[in-house]
Amino acid sequence: MNFFDKQPLFRIVSVFLLIVFGMGSRCFADYDYINISEPFTKKIPLAVPVFKNLSGAPGGGEIAVDAADLLGRALDFTGYFKIIDRGAYLERPEQKGITIAEIDFKNWTDIGTELLVTGGLRLEGEVLQLEFRLFDPFKGELLLGKRYTGNPSDLRKMVLRFCGEMIFRLTGKYGIFNSSIAFVSTTQGGKTIYMCDFDGSNLQRVVDPESILLFPAWSPDGKMIAYTSYKNGKPDIFVKPVPRGSGKVLVSYKGMNITPVWVPGQSTMAATLSYEGDEEIYLLTPSGKVAKRLTKSWGVDVSPTFSPDGRQMAFVSNRSGSPQIYVMNLDTGQERRLTYEGTYNTQPDWSPAGDRIVYSGMKKGISDIYAIALDGGGPMQLTRGEGRNEAPSWSPDGSLIVFASTRDGVSDIYVMTGYGTDQRRLIEMPGEQTLPAWSPNIGE
């Protein structure tokens, strides 16, 4: 729903050993592997062989395949890598060995491998130990080694933990692997809120169906979701713990109470309220009381989003005649218009790096996703004429964007890189899926 139209957490369980092999003075991120200024211009050829069953335990072979497959899929999801087909491999670490002394790196460079991940596992009863090693085959060098211990049911958590450590090694950021995505769905009739892991797995309902639910927003620690509900016959703002817990009314002033968003690193929130007449943006206390009115204009002001340091706020206003994006300096109250191209620019989301704002813009009746720098230079178009593309939301590391699109008929949730490449559908479920919101990294 566009207002102007009026229309896993994951953690490691029982991890008792975490070892870095051979890091020494090389604990810094290797930005020469991933160009962080243009990270998606070239995909890095990455090989992820089947893990070696080091203990030879029955059942270990299946886990070895599952671990490698999960690792490959998770790293492929980032958009940084091209996963090399195992049919091209010239050697099999699961048979030969996974250490630097046991690997013939020429066999990997000959097939174009630029990064190699080997792994091994030991299974003793209900205790699973996983080892991971990241190599640069051209240098014949170990870049990262980790060992985790848990239960077989913790396989996904351990693999994703290594993925985060690996991306941190290469980019200086932990990536997306302990983040979730909330969204609105009509799969059970009315509009309710679901959430899933970063890659669409672990789908679960967050709020039971109750009339109309809109605008999910994550708290800075990822433990709460705020949303607008018509449960009481008008739009009020509710909050609830995720994934379980009961929602409670936080803001219920006369008129509209919509588009909630938390201030980064704080327990305060901003939202659009209309209890004083027209729709304006207000700063709210943790208990939902009005602390300060932030916007003062004759038009509708809606959809606040904050810079990472919380000192600036972007929002949508139709004060110039059509919905456009404005930026306010919260220290001085000074406002400036940011978007000039397009007749209908809404749903802004400020990047975690603080340098760009992504939004839904309309030109000639077609709605697409754009990103614009804070200096207001020409916006970059990220989607192009494939249905209606709306409600973009940045991943916590700023590398990916989740959005809603009707390119395949009804609205569904899609993901792309921050530069518009690798666009793909995230989940498949009945009904319409809209208004996605990417969580912060949970538990960092």
Number of CB atoms found within 10 A of residue 10's CB: 22
CB 172 within 8 A of CB 29: yes
- What per-residue confidence (pLDDT) applies to 28? 44
Give Cα 115 to chain centroid, integer Å.
Answer: 24
The helix-helix angle for 155-171 and 60-77 (nearest 10°) equals 40
The stretch 28-51 carries a mean pLDDT of 75
Under the banding of pLDDT at 50, 70 and 90, the label for residue 13 is very low
What is the length of the chain? 444
The pLDDT > 90 percentage for the chain reads 78
Asked if pLDDT for residue 444 goes beyond 60, the answer is no
147-163 confidence digits (pLDDT tens) = 999 999 999 999 999 99
> Which residues are bridge partners to 325 per DSSP?
316
The whole-number average pLDDT for the span 56-75 is 93
182 closest CA partner among 239, 257, 110: 239
Mean pLDDT for the stretch of residues 359-367: 93
Whether the CB-CB separation of 326 and 306 falls below 8 Å is answered with: no
How large is the average pLDDT for residues 9-37? 42
Whether the pLDDT of residue 5 is over 70: the answer is no
| Residue spans of alpha helices (H) in 113-272 | 155-171
pLDDT, tens digit, 9 for 90 and up, residues 160-196: 999 999 999 999 889 999 999 999 999 887 899 999 9
| pLDDT digit string, tens, across residues 260-271 | 999 999 999 999
Q: What angle (nearest 5°) sits at the alpha carbon of residue 353, between those of residues 417 and 381? A: 40
- Cα–Cα–Cα angle for 118, 129, 82, nearest 5°? 30
Tokens of 383: 């989607």
Residue 347 has pLDDT above 70, yes or no: yes
Distance CA 384, CA 231 (A): 37
User: Would you say residue 439 has pLDDT above 80?
Assistant: yes
Instruction: Kindly report which listed range (40-44, 96-100, 299-303) carries the lowest average pLDDT score.
Output: 40-44
Map out the domains of the chain as residue ranges: 44-171, 179-438
List b or e across 136-160, with b for residues whose CB sees 16 or more CB atoms inside 10 angstroms: bbeeeebbbbbbbbbeeebbbbbbb
pLDDT over 50 at 412, yes or no: yes
In degrees, rounded to 5, the angle at the alpha carbon of residue 337 between the alpha carbons of residues 332 and 339 is: 145
pLDDT greater than 70 at residue 14: no
Contacts of 266 (CB under 8 A, 6+ apart): 220, 310
CB atoms within 10 A of CB 11: 12
Mean pLDDT score of the chain, rounded to an integer? 89
Check if the beta carbon of residue 347 is closer than 8 Å to that of residue 434. Answer: no
**pLDDT value for 12:** 33
| The CATH fold of domain 44-171 | Rossmann fold (3.40.50)
Residue 252 has pLDDT above 90, yes or no: yes
Whether domain 179-438 has CATH 2.120.10.30: the reply is: yes
Report CA dihedral (150, 151, 157, 163) to the nearest 10 degrees: 60
| Residue 264, helix vs strand vs coil | coil
Q: Confirm whether pTM is higher than 0.85.
A: yes
Is it true that 44-171 and 179-438 share their CATH fold?
A: no
